[in-house]
Copies of this chain bind each other. A is one copy, B any other.
Amino acid sequence: MSYASQLLDSYPRTFNVDAHVLTATIDALTDCAQACTADADNDMSEPDVADLVKCMRLCMDCADICMTTARVTSRQTESDPNVTRSLLEACIASCRSCGDECERMAMMHAHCQVCEQACRRCEQACMQLLDAMM
């Protein structure tokens, strides 16, 4: 059981979203931030680094946005649904854009294929959390 799940279990107040959906999203966000940080680094070590500039840039954005979205969704106290929702939408846009570029590079580089999977899974998880918040 992830720490996200354990910490939610001992949260002292009630919260208005399905705990399973929430923890699955936090875990997907944390995983995607990690995958994007590592993929940008792997890109930097490739001989064809000049062809991977777009991939690196989108990975750097996606790592930052997923990390921030993980933090905001991990906080239950006095959360503002308008902020959470608009941030989830930004995160979905970022995961989609980064996933598309990683997919384009996946034939050449196995690490881009791994990162694409993390982005696709995170995009799905954020959409499910958005749905669960309605």
Contact = CB atoms under 8 A, between A and B. Distances in A.
Contact of A10 (B44, B64, B68, B114): B114
Chain A interface SS verdict (over half) = helix
Q: How many copies does the complex hold?
A: 4
Contact of A64 (B8, B68, B97): B68
Interface string A20-39: 00000010001110110111
Given A7-B115, A12-B111, A44-B56, 17 more contacts: A2-B34, A7-B38, A7-B42, A10-B109, A11-B111, A34-B74, A38-B74, A41-B75, A45-B77, A49-B53, A57-B77, A58-B78, A58-B80, A61-B72, A64-B68, A65-B83, A80-B93
Interface of A: 2-4, 6-8, 10-13, 26, 30-32, 34-35, 37-39, 41-42, 44-47, 49-50, 53-54, 56-58, 60-61, 63-65, 67-68, 70-72, 74-80, 82-83, 86-87, 89-90, 93-94, 97, 109-111, 114-115, 118
